[in-house]
Amino acid sequence: MSTTAVKLAPAIRTSAEAQASARRGVAAPPATRLSTAAAAASEPAANPIGPRLAALGRSVATNVVPPVLVIGVLLVLWELLCHRPGAGLPPPSRVVTETWDLIVDPFFDNGGTDKGLFWHISASLQRVFMGFSIAVVVGVALGTLVGQSTWAMRGLDPLFQVLRTVPPLAWLPLSLAAFRDGQPSAIFVIFITSVWPIIINTAVGIRNIPQDYRNVAAVLRLNGFEFFWRIMVPSAAPYIFTGLRIGVGLSWLAIVAAEMLIGGVGIGFFIWDAWNSSKMSEIILALVYVGLIGFVLDRIVAFAATIVTRGTSAQ
Amino acid sequence: MAYLDISQVGISFSRGGRTSEVLRDVNLVVEKGEYVSIIGHSGCGKSTLLNIVAGLLRASTGGILLDGREVNAPGPDRAVVFQNHSLLPWLTVRENVSLAVDKVFSGKKSRTERKAWVEENLTLVNMMHAAEKRPNEISGGMKQRVGIARALAMEPKVLLLDEPFGALDALTRAHLQDQVMEIHARLGNTMMMITHDVDEAVLLSDRIVMMTNGPSATIGEILKVDLARPRRRLDLVEDATYVHARAAVLEFLYARHALPALAA
């Protein structure tokens, strides 16, 4: 039986041997086959690595294999459809070869707008970061006001409901007229796009603060500031973060369109520039980056939400 | 002089042009250190009365004096133990109590004194072992004990308990009742408790205030429970005074002031 154990699980034997020698605290003497096999057989619990690796492998397999498979099939389909000469889009193989320089060197800077993708994307991210940050502050503040005061809700809610349906780019001419510069205009468009879901979700969160918590605050005589930080924000945090997630997604949607119009450095302008020079491959590469970064932004906000709202869900 | 003086209190709510009177002419005097229970059928306005004393609701008529001062706003001198514990779920047990302690004693106790006071109150309700747990990690009875610790830690002049054991199973409830009696004996707090449990009222109270049915509910009768303390539930089962008090409350609730729906 011990020989079958050795044959079936060489990995088990080595790990058990390593642990056994470590426990002895001295360099293990060169063990014979038989003694190590006996150690493996007598210590079934001293083998946590093998099954854990297997479980990890299984979870990777179930989560990674399907998307990889689907993407592979789609790429092959795309390659087949666009491979013939005269196709409207380049096949993936040509996209990679044509944009290889951009992929391997995202950091070059030849002055003007002739920069690597890293610089374009970071310029776009900076605008989103600024516009979104302003939107968070203003959105949470206005949402708190609307959620807390019935009068403010009656006065402001109709306004919000109408303004939030205005498409982001419709604000651009107005903001260009007001700021007379591309950079603040783009930031304003990001702000005005992402602020509505933050306002509305915060207001719902504030309105849903249980009366019990308000009673506790009243008995303790918390002042407005304490009530805001100790009760309102934690209690409404799940709602606020829902608004933030929608908001960050919308800002990333809006920045590309806004940058196409205002020009300068930015991923939106990069796409427009590539279109003007008929570089389809570069557009496709840029779209891949835009999609991946949008995904990462969403994940970051979601991650922040899980940390901040840990334990805020009432039983 | 009366410690807590509720005189001629009435309250009406109006909604959509219709005014409904919930309480009318409620008069009650509670002495310092007394344990008073308020019992009545659902909807008779007993919780409303407690909320008026707490200051969470304003009486339409009449007024309340506590230790010679008028009550017109909520405050830590009338700490409330809420029926559904009302602990803040994002704070640990210790943080829930220290939120109250830090606020109430911010100028009066040093940081170390406040920390010790939080721990003293958690120890009082035997919850020190779970101080770092969050409310959703502890049982319903434990949550209510923390709610009691939070209220006691405010050193209230009167402790208001709003059906504090209503949501608990019978065994946990009995255990908590014993703990509350012990705390009352040790600290001598003035307590006012809402309940719908006759045995609980008789076991814990010095006096039982029985409310008539609404609308326009008021105090129907006040029963003095002449049982020596400390009281032990097992000894009382066949005690004549206990049995008599219990019968009197039951008679009031189910014979003279039965709910119309039940009487039919």
> What is the pLDDT at residue A39?
44
% of chain B surpassing 70 pLDDT: 98
Closest residue on chain B to A221 (Cα): B75
Average pLDDT (B109-131) is: 92
Tokens of B1: 């002089």
| Contact assessment for residue A244 and residue A137, using Cβ atoms and an 8 Å cutoff | no
Could you tell me the residue ranges of all domains in chain A?
Answer: 116-309
> What is the pLDDT at residue B261?
62
- Considering only the beta carbons, identify the residue of A220, A230, A315 that sits closest to B89: A315
> Which residues of chain B have a CB within 8 Å of the CB of A210?
86
Question: Taking CB atoms and an 8 Å limit, are B80 and A212 in contact across chains?
Answer: no
Kindly report the average pLDDT of chain B as a whole number. Answer: 90
Q: Which sign does the torsion angle of CA A248, A251, A256, A262 carry?
A: negative
> What is the pLDDT at residue A110?
85
- Considering only the beta carbons, identify the residue of B55, B84, B134 that sits closest to A212: B84
Give Cα B223 to chain centroid, integer Å.
17
Residue B260 has pLDDT above 60, yes or no: yes
Residue B224 has pLDDT above 70, yes or no: yes
> Which residues of chain B have a CB within 8 Å of the CB of A222?
103
Which of B90, B139, B157 to mutate to test binding with chain A, by most A CBs within 10 Å of its CB? B90
Could you tell me the residue ranges of all domains in chain B?
Answer: 79-155
Cβ atoms within 10 Å, residue A63: 10
Question: Cα separation of A208 and A238, whole Å?
Answer: 11
- Considering only the beta carbons, identify the residue of A212, A230, A235 that sits closest to B99: A230
Our CA-based measurement puts residue B78 at a distance from the nearest CA of chain A, in whole angstroms, of: 8
Closest residue on chain A to B139 (Cα): A315
- Considering only the beta carbons, identify the residue of A212, A219, A311 that sits closest to B76: A219
> Which residues of chain A have a CB within 8 Å of the CB of B84?
212
Residue tagged 């970071």 (tokens): A122
> What is the pLDDT at residue B17?
83
> What is the pLDDT at residue A312?
57
Question: Cα separation of B55 and B71, whole Å?
Answer: 7
> Which residues of chain B have a CB within 8 Å of the CB of A234?
88, 90
Our CA-based measurement puts residue A212 at a distance from the nearest CA of chain B, in whole angstroms, of: 6
In which residue ranges of chain A is pLDDT below 70?
1-48, 311-315
Please, which residues have CB within 8 angstroms of residue B136's CB and are 6 or more apart in sequence? A311, A313, A314, A315, B89
Question: Cα separation of B155 and B176, whole Å?
Answer: 20
DSSP assignment, residue A250?
H
pLDDT tens per residue across span A42-95:
444 556 678 888 888 888 888 889 999 999 999 999 999 888 888 888 999 889
Provide CATH code, domain A116-309: 1.10.3720.10
> What is the pLDDT at residue B1?
63
Question: Taking CB atoms and an 8 Å limit, are B136 and A220 in contact across chains?
Answer: no
Average pLDDT (B153-161) is: 93
- Considering only the beta carbons, identify the residue of B56, B134, B135 that sits closest to A218: B56
> What is the pLDDT at residue A6?
39
pLDDT tens per residue across span B232-258:
888 888 899 999 999 999 999 988 888
Interface of B with A in 189-248 (CB under 8 A): none
Average pLDDT (B45-72) is: 92
Residue B102 has pLDDT above 60, yes or no: yes
Question: Taking CB atoms and an 8 Å limit, are B103 and A222 in contact across chains?
Answer: yes
| Contact assessment for residue A289 and residue A218, using Cβ atoms and an 8 Å cutoff | no
Closest among A267, A253, A251 to A190, alpha carbons compared: A251
Q: Is the pTM of this model over 0.80?
A: no
Segment (H or E) for A180: none
Whether residue B159 lies within 8 A of chain A, CB to CB, comes out as: no
Question: Taking CB atoms and an 8 Å limit, are A216 and B88 in contact across chains?
Answer: yes
Question: Cα separation of A275 and A232, whole Å?
Answer: 48
Our CA-based measurement puts residue B137 at a distance from the nearest CA of chain A, in whole angstroms, of: 10
Question: Cα separation of B233 and B230, whole Å?
Answer: 10
Question: Taking CB atoms and an 8 Å limit, are A235 and B86 in contact across chains?
Answer: no
Please, which residues have CB within 8 angstroms of residue A182's CB and are 6 or more apart in sequence? A176, A262, A263, A264
Band (B208; pLDDT cuts 50, 70, 90): very high
- Interhelix angle A280-308/A117-148, rounded to 10 degrees, is 40
pLDDT tens per residue across span B31-48:
999 999 999 988 888 999
List residues in chain A touching B: CB distance below 8 A: 210, 212-213, 215-216, 218-222, 226, 230-231, 234-235, 237, 309-315
Segment (H or E) for B122: helix B111-124
